[in-house]
Chains A and B, each alone.
Chain A
Amino acid sequence: MSVRYLSCGDTAFTVEFGNEISPGINGRVMALHAAINLAREAGEISGVVETVPTMRSLMVTYDPLATTRADLQPKVDALRARGLPVDAVSRHVTVPCCYDDPEFAPDLAEVAERAKKTPEQVIAAHLASPFKVYVLGFMPGLAYVAGLDPSLFLPRRSQPRVRVPRSSVAIAMDMTTIYPFESPGGWHLIGRTPLWMFDKRREQPVFLSPGDSLAFERIDRKRFDRIAGEVEAGTFDWSSLVKSQ
């Protein structure tokens, strides 16, 4: 399949791998994202400012005073042709989620009805979904996480909520997400995590990264409150949720 290089002015270009959402295309995006960053660390490529992966494309931003498009694009294309770097590390993260409190899961009953399942079956399908973080955007730390069990696919709510609480766990279309801030939102709220997806006090303020594989772990309200207290106090051990693979 052909790759297209799209101009984004004189400070960026986009490498477009396709015009659809698929794990194969996103895998190639993430491979180039990793390859460019490894090449930068190794000093093999210069002038790149950063790379921005999405579902189907990678934007490469550059300093036009340090390089040119004519110089940089062939180097990026050579990295693309080389394929997946063998030493690219991916992470597996676990996100605790409380589905039981009606305050946390106001849309669970409606999702169950529309999916012709019981609420317990909806929770089980969400827990069993092989999730992967495809892209972060829209607001800092907001992750679009694909891999939702197809039996739970639903369009967004016709009437978006004006106020979705921070750390709400939601589904829509073929994805799940976790709201990093209180914000408006049109996804179906089926649970809440005690974690903050964006915490400016942490050295790495954003918890999830593109390419992470992700699974939810069911917790009860008591455990939710305990973890929430630790997160609020800044004493929570986040590393216990992350495994490199």
Chain B
Amino acid sequence: MSAGLKVVRAGLFDTLQDFGRTGFMALGMPTAGAMDRVGLSLANALAGNPANTAGLEIGVMGPDLLVEADSVRVAVVGPLSPALIEGPDAAPRPLDSDRSHLLKRGQILRVGMIDGSSTAYLAVAGGFDLPAFMGSLSTYSRAGIGGFDGRKLAAGDLLPLAKSSAPAGNERRLAQPFDYGSGPLRVVWGPQDDYFSDEGRRTFIGSEYRVSKEADRMGIRFEGPTIGHAKSVDQGGADIISDGIAPGAIQVPGAGLPIVLLADRQTVGGYPKIATVASVDLPRLGRLLPGQTVRFAAITVEEAEALRRDQEARLQRAIAGFVVARPPGGIDLVRLYEENLIDGIVYE
């Protein structure tokens, strides 16, 4: 029997994602890919995978997955509240995030709600046994391509695993939560900041913007003070001849409210883009929830590049600093804590 994870209950928007489908934007193909590159990288590293292995991106509420394999190692990264591992012959125990877990046939992983982020990631050791489409497993659901059948997961789906049992080895965890940073989202002016009035640019930088309910993998529509354009409507106003859209581009249509464009954004567009979120802060954007507020602060391209290099170095240090979650022959404090809660007595 082939190994897999069976979706016994679907979450809200669970899709397979890697770092995206690059190389085909010239053909109108959006890149898609993980909304939070850092989260996917950490989940893969905890599972022992290369960083760009496709994992399950969990949107808002995760699925219940039944293990139909001898064993599987999973790693979950992102704030879960609470996730459980159940059965078949043991009491439910909590599933901590930011670490790996060894699951056996018949166990059910109940991911549940994510708390304080819109996305979390689940990686499986060895990855999923699914065909790449145009070089990537990233799901782009609007065109029905990539991932599992080109769509979000549904009850009854069987996600095939590349390995029928988990590789030997310790479970690992992140020594401390990864610091995504705080404060304003860093942006670089352009490509069309000259389409906005001085006052419009000051409004953008000086105001607080709230994430509206219209927030998904394509982009986030913000609510807040309107940003004035420099040109009148008959001079072109809020229309440009379409040009390419980079990740994190902040377009401002005629109504004056900013929309930041993310993984599933279209490749080209005809609205002026006042600024572009620096790549260091794209993972923060990928975690924003409706109702949360943000501010923007302008930096230079050189500063943005340096911040990204620094973030990558911190990510690599976090991965190098993983600690064993259950030392051989030693006491697994996490397990001790978990089983103490459930059983009242610890026999180890």
Determine the distance from Cα of A140 to Cα of B142 in the docked complex, in whole angstroms: 10
Which of B104-112, B161-169, B170-178, B239-247 is the contact stretch? B239-247
Q: Could you tell me if A64 and B279 are in contact, using CB atoms closer than 8 angstroms? A: yes
Q: In the complex, what residues of B have CB within 8 A of residue A49's CB?
A: 22-23
Question: B241: shortest Cβ distance to chain A, in Å?
Answer: 5
Given A8-B191, A10-B188, A54-B268; A68-B28 close (CB under 8 Å): no
Binary CB contact string for chain A from 1 to 20 against chain B (1 if under 8 A, 0 otherwise): 00000111111111010011
Question: B123: shortest Cβ distance to chain A, in Å?
Answer: 21
Q: In the complex, what residues of A have CB within 8 A of residue B247's CB?
A: 9, 11
Residue B93 at the chain A interface, CB threshold 8 Å: no
Residue B278 at the chain A interface, CB threshold 8 Å: yes
Q: Could you tell me if A19 and B246 are in contact, using CB atoms closer than 8 angstroms? A: no
Binary CB contact string for chain B from 1 to 42 against chain A (1 if under 8 A, 0 otherwise): 000000000000000000000111111111000000000000
Q: In the complex, what residues of A have CB within 8 A of residue B241's CB?
A: 19-21, 54-57
Pick the contact of A69 from B134, B245, B269, B305 — CB < 8 Å? B305
Given A137-B266, A200-B145; A10-B25 close (CB under 8 Å): no
Given A8-B244, A12-B246, A141-B28; A70-B134 close (CB under 8 Å): no
Residue B190 at the chain A interface, CB threshold 8 Å: yes
Q: In the complex, what residues of A have CB within 8 A of residue B245's CB?
A: 59
Q: In the complex, what residues of A have CB within 8 A of residue B192's CB?
A: 6
Pick the contact of A51 from B26, B189, B190, B302 — CB < 8 Å? B26
Question: B188: shortest Cβ distance to chain A, in Å?
Answer: 5
Q: Could you tell me if B308 and A64 are in contact, using CB atoms closer than 8 angstroms? A: yes
Which residues of A from 48 to 65 have beta carbons under 8 Å from B? 49-59, 61, 64-65
Given A10-B188, A51-B26, A69-B302; A181-B243 close (CB under 8 Å): no
Given A136-B26, A140-B143, A210-B26; A10-B308 close (CB under 8 Å): yes
Q: In the complex, what residues of B have CB within 8 A of residue A206's CB?
A: 24, 27-29
Residue A99 at the chain B interface, CB threshold 8 Å: no
Determine the distance from Cα of A98 to Cα of B276 in the docked complex, in whole angstroms: 44
Q: In the complex, what residues of B have CB within 8 A of residue A139's CB?
A: 28, 142-143, 266
Determine the distance from Cα of A214 to Cα of B302 in the docked complex, in whole angstroms: 42
Question: B272: shortest Cβ distance to chain A, in Å?
Answer: 11
Determine the distance from Cα of A136 to Cα of B241 in the docked complex, in whole angstroms: 13
**Cβ-closest chain A residue relative to B268:** A137
Pick the contact of B243 from A56, A136, A143 — CB < 8 Å? A56
Determine the distance from Cα of A12 to Cα of B276 in the docked complex, in whole angstroms: 10
Given A9-B188, A11-B246; A50-B28 close (CB under 8 Å): no
Number of chain B residues whose Cβ lies closer than 8 Å to a Cβ of chain A: 49
Pick the contact of A52 from B142, B244, B278, B280 — CB < 8 Å? B244
Residue A135 at the chain B interface, CB threshold 8 Å: yes
Residue A209 at the chain B interface, CB threshold 8 Å: yes
Determine the distance from Cα of A195 to Cα of B23 in the docked complex, in whole angstroms: 24
Which of B24, B133, B150, B189 counts the most A-chain CB atoms under 10 A from its CB?
B24
Q: Could you tell me if B142 and A14 are in contact, using CB atoms closer than 8 angstroms? A: no
Q: Could you tell me if A6 and B190 are in contact, using CB atoms closer than 8 angstroms? A: yes
Q: Could you tell me if A10 and B305 are in contact, using CB atoms closer than 8 angstroms? A: yes
Question: A157: shortest Cβ distance to chain B, in Å?
Answer: 18
Residue B304 at the chain A interface, CB threshold 8 Å: yes
Which residues of A from 197 to 233 have beta carbons under 8 Å from B? 198, 200, 205-206, 208-210
Residue A142 at the chain B interface, CB threshold 8 Å: yes
Pick the contact of B304 from A9, A21, A55, A58 — CB < 8 Å? A9
Q: Could you tell me if A10 and B279 are in contact, using CB atoms closer than 8 angstroms? A: yes
Residue B295 at the chain A interface, CB threshold 8 Å: no
Residue A33 at the chain B interface, CB threshold 8 Å: yes
Which residues of A from 133 to 178 have beta carbons under 8 Å from B? 135-143
Given A7-B276, A65-B308; A142-B28 close (CB under 8 Å): yes
Which of B30, B133, B245 counts the most A-chain CB atoms under 10 A from its CB?
B245
Determine the distance from Cα of A7 to Cα of B243 in the docked complex, in whole angstroms: 12
Q: Could you tell me if B276 and A8 are in contact, using CB atoms closer than 8 angstroms? A: yes
Determine the distance from Cα of A141 to Cα of B29 in the docked complex, in whole angstroms: 7
Residue B127 at the chain A interface, CB threshold 8 Å: no
Determine the distance from Cα of A137 to Cα of B25 in the docked complex, in whole angstroms: 8
Q: Could you tell me if B188 and A57 are in contact, using CB atoms closer than 8 angstroms? A: no
Which of A10, A21, A64 counts the most B-chain CB atoms under 10 A from its CB?
A10
Which residues of A from 16 to 64 have beta carbons under 8 Å from B? 16, 19-21, 33, 49-59, 61, 64
Q: Could you tell me if B28 and A205 are in contact, using CB atoms closer than 8 angstroms? A: no
| Contact sample, A vs B, 20 pairs, CB 8 Å cutoff | A8-B190, A8-B244, A8-B246, A9-B249, A9-B304, A10-B301, A10-B308, A11-B246, A14-B244, A19-B241, A50-B23, A57-B243, A58-B244, A59-B244, A61-B22, A137-B268, A138-B267, A140-B27, A140-B140, A206-B24
The 10 closest A-B pairs by CB, nearest first: A59-B244, A9-B276, A6-B191, A10-B304, A137-B268, A8-B246, A136-B28, A52-B244, A12-B246, A7-B190
Given pairs A9-B188, A136-B267, 16 additional interface contacts (CB within 8 A): A9-B249, A10-B278, A11-B246, A13-B191, A20-B241, A54-B241, A57-B241, A59-B25, A68-B302, A136-B27, A136-B28, A140-B30, A141-B29, A142-B28, A198-B143, A200-B143
